[in-house]
Amino acid sequence: MVIKRKKIRLRYKKERVVFSDVLPYELPLIFSNRYFYRFLVRNGIWIEISREGQDTLHWNKTEDKGILGLLAIIFCRKISEFEGKDSLLLNVHDLKRIPFVYSIQHKPLKHRFLSLIHPANQIKVVDLYNRYKDAIIYLCSKSNFSIRYPSKVACYFYYKDRLHHVLMGKKTDKMEMYFNEYENLKTFFSYKRYTNIYKFYEDYRYQRAEKKFSRLLKMDVQNCFDSIYTHSIAWAINGGVDIYKDTFEGKCDGSVGVLWDKMMQEMNYNETNGIVIGPECSRIFAEVIMQYVDQMVEQQLLIKGYRNKVDYECYRYVDDYFFFYNSEAVKVDAEQLFQMYLKEFKLSLSQEKNKTFERPFVTEITKAKIAIDDLLNNTVKLYTNEPESELSLEEEMEQTEQDMSQEAEEPLLKVDRPKVTDCLATDVYFCLNATDFNKRFKVLVSANSVEPKDVLNYTIARLAIRLERALKKFDRYYKTLCLAIVEPELVDLYSQVEKKRKQLEKDLSKYLFNILDSVFFLYANSKRINTTLKVMQILNIIWIYLDNDYSLEVGKKKSMVRRFTEYAREIVFKKIRDEISVVLQTAPMDEHVQLETLYFLLILRSMNGKYHLSRPEMEKYLKIGYNEDGTVKTLPKLNMLAVTILIYYFGNAKQFVDLKDIIVNHTLKRINEIPANRRRISAEYIIFALDMAACPYIKPSMRVKYLQSVGASRTEGAQVLKYMKQQKYMFTKWTGVDITKELNAKISQEVYS
């Protein structure tokens, strides 16, 4: 029996867009729109888009100066303009905002720039989606090539307990009672057909095409999002640039295309060349344009006598094309047509990335992944003298989850003798040697002519699955031994049980030590955010397994059974701490790439304080220099997200008080050096100031100063702080962070690869 995900119906709230479609994926685990969403819903805040060009801001009439103060900050107005009202007309430039653009590592010596849009712009997206959701679905349904497009408004989200919750001795997680259904919402729309490109490779469509056609042309639209001209959305919706300019231009200013164009400009400081990169709403914008290109190419190929699914098959995932063919003529014609219609929208194919494959369509990366699976299957596993399962990796994980979930729901009150004796008679051992694994991996990538970075995410993700499976299998034996120790009727077996338990504990510690050695060896090859998150997932699996004990319920009484000795935990936890320290020292703070390694501070913060990094280690990592008199000589230019992570990590720890004050004061000084009119419309400074207003780790006086930096008076700042006690957070969750939950939610949202 395979366990099924829990299917939970969503109550439609138009504001849920801010959960799913306006933020980049590459944001810290502690950062979300969860509380911003609650702020909007509780206070009835929304923007009504006007076809005449003048939008209206709405809110629930209130006398709470804290709420009005927040609105004044977000919309760059005086608080008096909101008092005694429930709406406000917005001027033509009121939503012209500067997005927070930050960079992440993409390729060696190449960065990818992502945008976090201003809260005011995020609010406007809500009404556009709500008003035109049906039109968006229709506009994204025209192409026969697209394999990732919105097909309907999401009615459900799916929730599945992670196995390690069972290992923590917990029953099925109870989700938050308030607005809880949206916290794991991936996208506003449901998508067809594939949420991840790798699912296409494994699908029957790809294999069917390989049977029919002997060649494959892979094409990529060059700098797609950076090159998109915002006005082109109206062209795509209305039949192309010529038809639009000849027939519709100036006559349909209230159309969805024109309104959408305006919104995309506003969130990018009125830029018409390029759209913000990162939010899902940008991908949907691009999808509408690409759908038109697909349609025109298919029509023109048909005129030339080439039928889709007969003479060729073409599939597009966002901006990547897969064109299957036999005849060279259809390939040449198709390539020319794509170039022609893309050019109409100021886009072009990347000649560098265009590649042709002969059947069988097996790339070097595919070969490497098969070899990686074999390597992991033979190393990252638990060996026993019991028969091997014939289930696949994923099937066995599901079956294990089913078994252990049932076990969690029915607490084990007693361990019987047959079960214990079977456990004693079973050989249980690991065979991983990190040095050998690392060597084999190097040979593997070299033999398949791939770069380590090309397969790292896959390798670490599969390693995490296998590690979790191995721990679940291990726990069946280890738990029996631990519980047998406290069972009076098994006293005659105590010595045998304890001897085996100690041996298994020792073996597990050694195994996890080797796992960590290999994981960080892999990570050293490519320090990217997605890779960091996958490493964090492995660290979290290890941490929660070792750091929790078995809980037994006998009647109304609960008792705890110690799972591992402190010594066993110490070996592994110190290894985690030391490996992270090495990462930070070998990859010190960079002005352009800051989040990749900083993410590790989030996992360290969740561990016991004795495993935290010291102040000298943090100063070295941040490249902070001091003068002889102790004053700061050098300090890196940290972006808002980097400062947020650092403040969260420092918390109220005494050893970091001075360092925290240095960074907080320096950041405020740097913000105040920006012209006041610019910082008030900048997403980076507005979001950061609102987060600081809710931060429990800095003094209230400093929180007010941050609010003053974005336009609030001292009195208004104090009123906002008073309200924030009720609101609690705005974007960053400063306390009570469940790293396991946040990691699972984050990784489940990885839809664009």
Instruction: Give yes or no for residue 563 having a pLDDT over 90.
Output: no
**Beta carbons of 18 and 37 less than 8 angstroms apart:** yes
**Beta carbons of 45 and 71 less than 8 angstroms apart:** yes
**Beta carbons of 516 and 542 less than 8 angstroms apart:** yes
Q: What is the predicted pLDDT for the residue at 331?
A: 97
Q: What is the predicted pLDDT for the residue at 364?
A: 87
Of 391, 546, 552, nearest in space to 485 by CA: 552
Question: What is the token pair recorded at 406?
Answer: 């049932």
Instruction: Give yes or no for residue 408 having a pLDDT over 70.
Output: no
Q: What is the predicted pLDDT for the residue at 393?
A: 52
Q: How confident is the model at residue 190 (pLDDT cuts 50, 70, 90)?
A: confident
Q: Which amino acid is at 249?
A: E
pLDDT top residue among 620 and 389: 620
What value does the mean pLDDT take over residues 259-265? 95
Q: Which of 67-81, 100-114, 719-733 has the lowest mean pLDDT?
A: 100-114
Between CA 571 and CA 190 the distance in angstroms is 45
Between CA 312 and CA 335 the distance in angstroms is 13
What is the share, in percent, of the chain residues with pLDDT greater than 70?
A: 88
Q: What is the predicted pLDDT for the residue at 177?
A: 30
What value does the mean pLDDT take over residues 590-596? 84
**Beta carbons of 289 and 278 less than 8 angstroms apart:** no
Q: Which of 202-211, 333-342, 606-615 has the lowest mean pLDDT?
A: 202-211
Q: How confident is the model at residue 512 (pLDDT cuts 50, 70, 90)?
A: very high
Q: What is the predicted pLDDT for the residue at 95?
A: 95
Q: Is 384 exposed, middle or buried (0-12, 13-18, 19+ CB in 10 A)?
A: middle
Between CA 733 and CA 675 the distance in angstroms is 29
Between CA 303 and CA 439 the distance in angstroms is 56
Q: How confident is the model at residue 718 (pLDDT cuts 50, 70, 90)?
A: very high
Instruction: Give yes or no for residue 392 having a pLDDT over 90.
Output: no
Instruction: Give yes or no for residue 203 having a pLDDT over 90.
Output: no
Between CA 147 and CA 202 the distance in angstroms is 13
Residue 651, CA atoms < 13 Å, CB-side half-sphere: 16
Q: What is the predicted pLDDT for the residue at 553?
A: 65
Q: Which of 118-132, 239-253, 428-442, 525-539 has the lowest mean pLDDT?
A: 239-253
Q: Is 294 exposed, middle or buried (0-12, 13-18, 19+ CB in 10 A)?
A: buried
pLDDT top residue among 85 and 244: 85
Q: What is the predicted pLDDT for the residue at 7?
A: 54
pLDDT per residue as tens digits for the range 99-137: 999 999 887 778 899 999 999 999 999 999 999 999 999
Between CA 644 and CA 99 the distance in angstroms is 17
Instruction: Give yes or no for residue 522 having a pLDDT over 50.
Output: yes
The maximal CA–CA distance of the chain, rounded, in angstroms, is: 93
pLDDT per residue as tens digits for the range 147-161: 999 999 887 555 444
Q: What is the predicted pLDDT for the residue at 402?
A: 53
Between CA 21 and CA 25 the distance in angstroms is 10
Burial annotation 659-681 (CB, 10 A radius, 16+ → b, else e):
bbebbbebbbeebeeeeeeebbb
